[in-house]
């Protein structure tokens, strides 16, 4: 599903490596946390998976295909297999909840009939059926994150990638979002989450990949402190 083979990423001429020789494999249907302090390299790993960044060396395999040197024209097709959730939501402010979610289907040229059927189903799954005609500025932070989740899920991706999805939310709302992500995973979607939320990682007892200064230092199931 997702495999890194000795992947390194260097950004500047001084050749300081943000990611150093990372190797791991995430199988279909797994739920994995990426943890580490700010600047450790979590977000860079996410960007490498999404093909927002290219590795300096090594190989990245997504769904059995080597994406390391993927042509620019093929990247949109790769991303169709991924749902991506951002900490800052990235909703379109001039579109309703329904329209924000439908936009993701329009991008992949889904049939209008399919859009009309699929969007309400996904909004119901995240508990936003009654907010379909509201605009983002009429929603709470937690509701906006639910819209972002619905948008990421609406095309039935094989994997969902989330970068600090609870970072701007209060604890109760954060747990609601994690509950939705867990339900998505139980339906068979691979879920990868970069997070600082120690309490969530401890409670959920999933596989945890810990990164420190660009190097993977632990990869096992357990709580945040157990993997040190």
Query: So what's the pLDDT on residue 188?
Result: 94
pLDDT digits (tens, 9 = 90+) for 166-197: 888 888 989 999 999 999 999 999 999 999 88
- Is pTM beyond 0.95? Reply is no
Confidence of residue 38 (pLDDT cuts 50, 70, 90): confident
Query: So what's the pLDDT on residue 16?
Result: 55
Domains and CATH numbers, the chain: 1-81+191-228 (3.40.50.300)
Per residue, the 3-state secondary structure of the chain, as one string, reads: CEEEEEEEEECCCCCCEEEEEEEEEECCCCEEEEECCCCCCHHHHHHHHHCCCCCCEEEEEECCEECCCCCHHHHHHHHCCEEEEECCCCCCCCCCHHHHHHHHHHHCCCCHHHHHHHHHHHHHHCCCHHHCCCCHHHCCHHHHHHHHHHHHHCCCCCEEEEECCCCCCCHHHHHHHHHHHHHHHHCCCEEEEEECCHHHHHHHCCEEEEEECCEEEEEEECCCHHHC
Res 228 pLDDT > 80: no
């Amino acid at each position: 599903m997702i495999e890194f083979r000795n992947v390194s990423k260097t950004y500047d001429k001084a050749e300081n490596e943000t990611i150093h020789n990372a190797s791991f494999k995430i199988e279909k249907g797994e739920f994995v946390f990426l943890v580490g302090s700010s600047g450790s390299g979590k977000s860079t790993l996410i960007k490498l998976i999404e093909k927002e960044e290219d590795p300096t060396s090594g190989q990245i395999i997504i769904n059995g295909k080597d994406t390391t040197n993927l042509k620019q024209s093929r990247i949109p097709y790769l991303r169709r297999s991924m749902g991506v959730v951002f900490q800052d939501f990235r909703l379109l402010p001039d579109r309703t909840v329904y329209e924000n979610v439908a936009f993701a289907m329009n991008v992949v040229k889904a049939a209008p009939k399919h859009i009309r059927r699929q969007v309400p189903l996904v909004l119901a799954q995240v508990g936003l059926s009654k907010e379909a005609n509201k605009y983002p500025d009429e929603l709470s932070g937690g509701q906006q994150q639910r819209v972002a989740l619905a948008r990421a899920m609406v095309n039935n991706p094989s994997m969902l990638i989330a970068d600090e999805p609870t970072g701007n939310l209060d604890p109760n709302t954060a747990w609601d979002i994690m509950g939705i992500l867990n339900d998505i995973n139980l339906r068979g979607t691979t879920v990868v989450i970069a997070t600082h939320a120690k309490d969530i990682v401890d409670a959920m007892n999933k596989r945890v990949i810990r990164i420190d200064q660009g190097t993977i230092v632990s990869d096992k199931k357990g709580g945040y402190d157990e993997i040190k």
